[in-house]
Amino acid sequence: MCGIAGLFDTRGKRDFDRALMQRMNDVQHHRGPDEGGYHFEPGVALAHRRLSIIDLATGQQPLFNEDGSVAVVFNGEIYNFQELVPELEALGHVFHTRSDTEVIVHAWEAWGEDCVQRFRGMFAFALHDRNRDTFFMARDRLAVKPMFYALLPDGTLAFGSELKVLMQHPALDRRIDPLAVEEYFALGYVAEPRTIFLGAKKLGPGESLCIRRGQRIPEPRQYWDVRFTLHNDISLEEATAELTERLRESVRLRMISEVPLGAFLSGGVDSSAVVATMAGLSNEPVNTCSIAFDDPKFNESEFAQKVADRYRTNHFVETVKSDDFDLIDTLAALYDEPYADSSAIPTYRVCQLARKHVTVALSGDGGDESFAGYRRYRSHLTEERMRAAMPQALRQPVFGLLGRLYPKADWAPRVFRAKTTFQAMARDATEAYFHSVSILRGDMREKLFSADFRGKLGGYDALEVFRRHAASAHTDDPLALIQYLDLKTYLVGDINTKVDRASMAHSLEVREPLMDHPLVEWLATLPSGLKIQGNEGKFLFKKAMEPFLPSDVLYRPKMGFAVPLARWFRGPLKQRVRDAVLGETLATTGIFKRDYLQHLVDAHHSGARDYSSPLWTLLMFEAFLRNQGATCRVSPEGER
């Protein structure tokens, strides 16, 4: 796990400023505190910060092929590198290290752009091939590791592991992209390929970019996608047995390390399954880390303790106070662009705890998406059955009218919120799911944004993010569609972003066995009925884990990794929220309507509505703007 950075002259072979490269690399020191490395040649500058995990003695980067013509900087892990070494040696390649990084340069020489197809792991890397006069960069299939890049006005391509790396370059266009703001207030993050700044982009999941100097710069190429075929005619018994073996293989690969290794243990199904599997593969007790909360509504520690006791792990627990909100400004600096998942707070704390004991931690992230664990999946399927009973041409006008006329009841259980239900019935599946996951729905964003800012959007709606991915899903299955959407959006923009920044802030490597791409591909072949049966999500996963985990761990209601925002905003953070949301920082952007901001604050503080999620989203946007100072502004219409 590391930080990478670099510059490539797409037009010529200018020499790059070494001091600039050092600033770009130093700003991500937290990602790799063990070592730093550089490579300069005409038209190329590469930099690397190293967190040593494998081949501690000789794995320094940038790393080269035999004659030094190919140089690579790499962030992540190639878990199958030991299988690739003999194959590449048979083709005549000579290895000088025991590092997975060296596999990349030789695989590039052997297979070119298709080298990424051979890699199993989490990775973001960039390489320069002097003989081919080519620059190549790639990101892993599920976008566990980040890759930011920018094409600057003088033809320089800049890249880095975090947006703050690119922000060191004086030529980066740091005007705020209005479309990114729209996405942020809908989703809580800026979706790939956009960033908050007009001048920077993110490489998407399973994408690569190959640039040949002096030629037109192409769009990124998608080298992988998951296909929900659902055609696997397999029995429940066969599926549970195969899943258990696939999970064992995935965990085994991720336990390769030359430094202390452990796991997060929340007490939920996913992390508990990973720990149980690790225990079965290890001769030594597994190191496990948990965060407890002093608020019982958010505390899962007793279930984590049950798993720890069953497998006799070395279990480390720290209690987070329910008023642990001092991280707001820390998070704004950590994520570089607006990011509104409040579970970033406990995630930061559990990474902080884990780093006291281990350098590598396995997590259960990705399980909800592939195994269908989110409660919203079951709600969506119920609504889909209702929508299927009436043609769209009839549903839209009838339920659209009812949705506009019927009063809203935020206080009631979802099934009784007639206005919300009617609105959902009027939409197609993609739009309905988008609105179910939106922090501020379309009607709320309409009220939030000023007329001037809506003009800058030019009619753009963040729904287009979901529309674009839905067009590539190639499935009519209601569950498969929304799983695909989450794998392309929420998992990438929210979950992986949260874990990468929180872990790297503490120089901790996190590995995700449930995001092993062969496992994800296999699960996508299984019928949806094996994932949700009745009201039980993760049906297959829970059945497979029954011999290994207590029933009350497997079948209790899902709790999630949350913090008590609603109470904070009516109590200890009441004045801070009011000052931030109604203060000068947001007012001077011209983005928001003051009267609607006032409504959100007053209605929440009075208890009339729970606006904790929209208010947190505004709070983090305000913190982002303050962290950026006066160096960024919203782009006018037509300058995208």
Question: 225-559: what fold?
Answer: Rossmann fold (3.40.50)
Range from 90-99, 150-159, 246-255, 396-405 carrying the lowest mean pLDDT: 396-405
**pLDDT band at 197; cut points 50, 70, 90:** very high
Average confidence score pLDDT of the chain = 91
3-state secondary structure of 399: helix
pLDDT at 411: 45
Give this prediction's pTM: 0.93
CA dist list (Å): 10 to 42, 114, 211, 559: 11, 22, 7, 50
CA dist list (Å): 500 to 373, 514, 565: 22, 16, 23
Alpha helices in 282-337 (DSSP H): 301-311, 328-335
Amino acid, res. 126: A
Burial 553-589 (b: 16+ CB within 10 A, else e): bbeeeeeebebbbbebbbeebeeebbebbbeeebeeb
pLDDT at 413 over 60: no
Sheet holding 207-212, edge to edge: 63-64, 70-78, 121-129, 134-139, 207-212, 221-222
pLDDT at 567: 86
pLDDT at 415 over 50: no
Where are the strands (E) in 44-200, listed by range? 44-50, 63-64, 70-78, 121-129, 134-139, 148-151, 156-160
User: Are the C-beta atoms of 163 and 336 separated by less than 8 Å?
Assistant: yes
Per-residue tokens: 557: 């209601």
> Which residues carry a binding-site annotation for L-glutamine?
100
pLDDT at 13: 96
Where residue 350 falls (left for φ over 0; alpha for ψ -120 to 50; beta otherwise) is alpha
Range from 263-272, 301-310, 559-568, 610-619 carrying the lowest mean pLDDT: 559-568
Range from 324-333, 365-374, 385-394, 561-570 carrying the lowest mean pLDDT: 385-394
**pLDDT band at 640; cut points 50, 70, 90:** very low
pLDDT at 241 over 90: yes
Phi then psi for 364, rounded to 5 degrees?
Answer: -100, 15
Question: 3-222: what fold?
Answer: Glutamine Phosphoribosylpyrophosphate, subunit 1, domain 1 (3.60.20)
DSSP class of residue 150? E
Per-residue tokens: 627: 């962290």
> Which residues carry a binding-site annotation?
100, 291, 363-364
351 belongs to the catalytic site: no
pLDDT at 419 over 90: no
Range from 419-423, 545-549, 613-617 carrying the lowest mean pLDDT: 419-423
Tracing tokens 């299955």 back to the chain, one arrives at: 477
CA dist list (Å): 587 to 266, 328, 595, 599, 636: 40, 20, 11, 15, 17
- Out of 2, 210, 289, 351, the active site residue is 2
pLDDT at 596: 98
pLDDT at 388: 77
> Which residues carry a binding-site annotation for ATP?
291, 363-364
Task: Determine the Cα–Cα distance for residues 76 and 53; give it in Å rounded to an integer.
Answer: 10
Percent of the chain with pLDDT over 90: 79
pLDDT at 132 over 80: yes
Q: What is the pLDDT of residues 577-616, one digit of tens each?
A: 999 999 999 999 999 999 999 999 999 999 999 999 999 9
pLDDT at 573: 87
Secondary-structure percent of the chain, ordered helix, strand, coil, rounded to 5: 45, 15, 40
CA dist list (Å): 564 to 264, 328, 579, 603, 613: 22, 14, 20, 17, 11
3-state secondary structure of 153: coil
**pLDDT band at 321; cut points 50, 70, 90:** confident
pLDDT at 561 over 60: yes
**pLDDT band at 426; cut points 50, 70, 90:** low
DSSP class of residue 145? S
pLDDT at 418 over 80: no
Q: For residue 387, what are the contacts with CB-CB under 8 A and spacing of at least 6?
A: 395, 425, 428, 429, 432
pLDDT at 637 over 70: no
Where are the strands (E) in 120-240, listed by range? 121-129, 134-139, 148-151, 156-160, 201-202, 207-212, 221-222
Per-residue tokens: 3: 């930080």
Q: Which residue, among 543, 550, 566, 562, has the nearest Cα to 612 in the 3D structure? A: 566
pLDDT at 26 over 90: yes
- What average pLDDT does range 138-160 have in this prediction? 98
pLDDT at 326: 77
Q: Which of the pair, 614 or 637, is modelled with greater confidence?
A: 614
Strands 156-160 and 44-50: unpaired
Domains of the chain, residue spans: 3-222, 225-559, 565-628
Query: Angle at Cα 611 formed by Cα 608 and Cα 614, nearest 5°?
Result: 160
Q: What is the pLDDT of residues 489-531, one digit of tens each?
A: 999 999 999 999 999 999 999 999 999 999 999 999 999 999 9
pLDDT at 230 over 90: yes
Phi then psi for 535, rounded to 5 degrees?
Answer: -105, 15
- What average pLDDT does range 226-232 have in this prediction? 96
pLDDT at 265 over 60: yes
